[in-house]
Structure 1
Amino acid sequence: MADEDYNEMDMGYEDEPIEPEVEEGAEEDVDNNNNEDVPDPLMAETEEKEEQESVERRRKTSKYMTKYERARILGTRALQISMNAPVMVELEGETDPLEVSSLTKTT
């Protein structure tokens, strides 16, 4: 079928209305209304108090890193090194970013 044949067929679709263009600097913040200081009428007072108490409570943590934390740190640093971030340790012929990041961690 040629292009002319498609123009004759009416599929029942209407053209969508054209949205007005927004100029630079005149952006609308309809969705970004931050009303943090306005209390939520659905939240009870007890829920607010419990939320504040959990924030103020002191955390008990270990002074040692878990294997997951260590893997995340080494992986992040290896990614940085692979994207040409400066290396802060002397290299001894290592080319693998993960090896270099583990050297950075041990020194």
Structure 2
Amino acid sequence: MDSDGGDDYGNEGDLSGVQDYVGSEDGYDAEDAKEVEDENGDANGQLDGNNEQGANGIVHSGAQGEASMVGQPNKDRTTTPYMTKYERARILGTRALQISMNAPVLVPLEGESDPLEIAMKELSQRKIPLIVRRYLPDGSYEDWSVSELIAD
């Protein structure tokens, strides 16, 4: 490769024919920016309350609105108290990640250093401080703490 300052297009480093950028384009002004802000929200990215995305730009898929997202009281639960294998995998993965990021370990360690092994030990002793949210077809949900669920 030749280091004479040239480029691959034959200009030999001469930029005399290139127009300098002065910071504004022809045909664009502050009024155009204001129109874009009015359509999409304010300059800080906040959306209007009547936008279909809802508060703070959160999209609630599968729900008709905030009113349908209500939790069931603990005595009126309809789902099974058994932890599914998918919930177990998610709980162990989440807790292992927390432990690997120096979260406090809630069980006494007996030589374990692997975060996943520590998370499994916490699960067997029902010490994991997480809550499982189970969504129901009607849009409501049930919250179960990990200590309430029966893990096989």
TM-score range normalised by the length of the shorter chain = 0.5 to 0.7
Q: 2:102 aligns with which of 41, 63, 84?
A: 84
> Could you list the per-position Cα deviations for residues 36-72 of structure 1 after superposition, in whole angstroms to 9, with x for gaps in the alignment?
8xxxxxxxxxxx8xx96x9699763111010000110
**Structure number with higher strand proportion:** 2
Counterpart CA distance in 1 for 2:80 and 2:110 is 33
Name stretches of at least 5 consecutive residues in structure 2 with no aligned partner: 1-10, 34-41, 52-63, 126-152
Counterpart CA distance in 2 for 1:89 and 1:77 is 13
The equivalent of 1:34 in structure 2 is: 49
Matches within 5 A, 1:5-84: 5=16, 7=18, 15=25, 17=28, 28=43, 32-35=47-50, 60-84=78-102
The equivalent of 1:4 in structure 2 is: 15
Q: 2:117 aligns with which of 81, 99, 106?
A: 99
Q: Taking structure 1 as reference, are residues 6 and 86 closer, same or farther at Cα in structure 2, changes over 3 Å only?
A: farther
Shift of 1:4: 1.4
Counterpart CA distance in 2 for 1:69 and 1:101 is 14
Counterpart CA distance in 2 for 1:28 and 1:87 is 43
Report the 3-state secondary structure (helix = DSSP H, G, I; strand = E; otherwise coil) of the residue aligned with 2:87. Answer: helix
Shift of 1:35: 3.0
Shift of 1:106: 0.8
Shift of 1:85: 0.6
Aligned positions, number: 82
The one-letter amino acid paired with 1:72 is R
The one-letter amino acid paired with 1:7 is V
